[in-house]
Amino acid sequence: MKKIIVLDDMAYIRYRVRLILKDQDIDVYESYSSYDLFNQLSDKGDEIGLIILEIGLSNEDGFEVLKKIRAKDYKIPIMILTKLSTRNDFIKCIKEGASEYILKPFDSKILANRVKRLIRDEKTESGYEEIIYLNFQEYLSKQIDIAREDRKNLSVFMMNLTKIETIRVKNEKIDFNEKYFFLLDSLYKELKGIFKNLGLFEKYGFSAFVGVLPDCDKNKMMLLKKNVIEKYNILKKAENRYKNYDLNVVFAVYPEDGNKKQNLLDKITMKLNKL
């Protein structure tokens, strides 16, 4: 049986997650604090295929818990299941290596499907796309090492859709609904052809795309960004469903913007926060 662990200080949420996943043949361990979480990870870490974490904990800082999990180098994907709904919260979680971000209240079917996609087991670890999805930061680190050895550039980028009327609002709330999910899936299919044979281009969580492009300097990345925006503007004119959204594209280039993974992610975070 697949096993996950849920850290949430609300007993009802832990109970609901356990109830939803029971039908999926997934065993759920419950934690009410980070102390309890790390004790369970120490005892059962090799069995756990996914950590579900509330970052908006009542008595401790959930972001610090996320950082501590990553600092201990557990090779376990992390899903954020939270009441915190601003874009800054989302960006911070992405930066710290979370693989998924789901808002409360949540849909049972969506949660179950996302857990099944993320959960780590022998089958998912054998799939290339799944490895990239779960371990984007690890993949980025390896690509930086290759670029350093070959003395070549590397570009990393992130894209997301933002409602036009809220694009410049600090701590803008993000609204993940079925319409938005469908929009992202459709956009992904439209844009992935631009990056074919160039490098990685994947969906990251509910609301973003990420990419890593080997041997890609600032000029090449600027041209690709221009192509993406032009493609999106054509879609926007042709399809009414895109009219209320703008596509944001930010990127960082190795070694120009930094020679370490964290330097590049910090640069991207800074650019996203300025939007």
Place of tokens 């996302």: 114
- At residue 207, φ and ψ (nearest 5 deg) are -130, 15
Q: What are the tens digits of pLDDT across the range 21-57? A: 998 999 999 999 999 999 999 998 889 999 999 999 9
| pLDDT, mean of residues 144-170 | 83
Confidence at residue 163, expressed as pLDDT on a 0 to 100 scale: 78
Residues of the chain with CATH 3.30.70.270: 135-274
Q: How far is the CA of 4 from the CAs of 108, 156, 189, 230, in angstroms? A: 16, 30, 31, 42
What topology does CATH give the domain 2-125?
A: Rossmann fold (3.40.50)
Q: In residues, how long is the chain? A: 275
* Helix segments in 96-177, DSSP class H: 108-118, 122-125, 128-134, 136-150
Q: Measure the CA–CA gap between 54 and 72, rounded to whole angstroms.
A: 18
**DSSP letters for 84-118:** --BHHHHHHHHHTT-SEEEESS--HHHHHHHHHHH
pLDDT at 121 exceeding the cut of 60: no
CB-based contacts of 75, cutoff 8 Å, min separation 6: 120, 135
pLDDT at 137 exceeding the cut of 80: no
First-to-final CA distance of the chain: 44
Confidence at residue 172, expressed as pLDDT on a 0 to 100 scale: 59
Residues of the chain with CATH 3.40.50.2300: 2-125
Q: Measure the CA–CA gap between 243 and 27, rounded to whole angstroms.
A: 43
Q: How many of the other CB atoms lie within 10 Å of CB of 175?
A: 12
- Mean residue pLDDT of the chain comes to 86
- Of the given ranges (99-113, 138-152, 213-227), which has the lowest mean pLDDT? 99-113
Q: Which CATH class is domain 135-274?
A: alpha beta
| pLDDT, mean of residues 250-254 | 96
Confidence at residue 82, expressed as pLDDT on a 0 to 100 scale: 92
Confidence at residue 131, expressed as pLDDT on a 0 to 100 scale: 41
Q: What are the tens digits of pLDDT across the range 161-198? A: 887 765 455 555 666 666 777 788 889 999 999 998 89
Confidence at residue 130, expressed as pLDDT on a 0 to 100 scale: 42
Q: How far is the CA of 103 from the CAs of 54, 55, 80, 90, 264, in angstroms? A: 10, 11, 8, 10, 27
Q: Measure the CA–CA gap between 49 and 221, rounded to whole angstroms.
A: 35
3-state secondary structure of 6: strand
Q: Measure the CA–CA gap between 215 and 254, rounded to whole angstroms.
A: 10
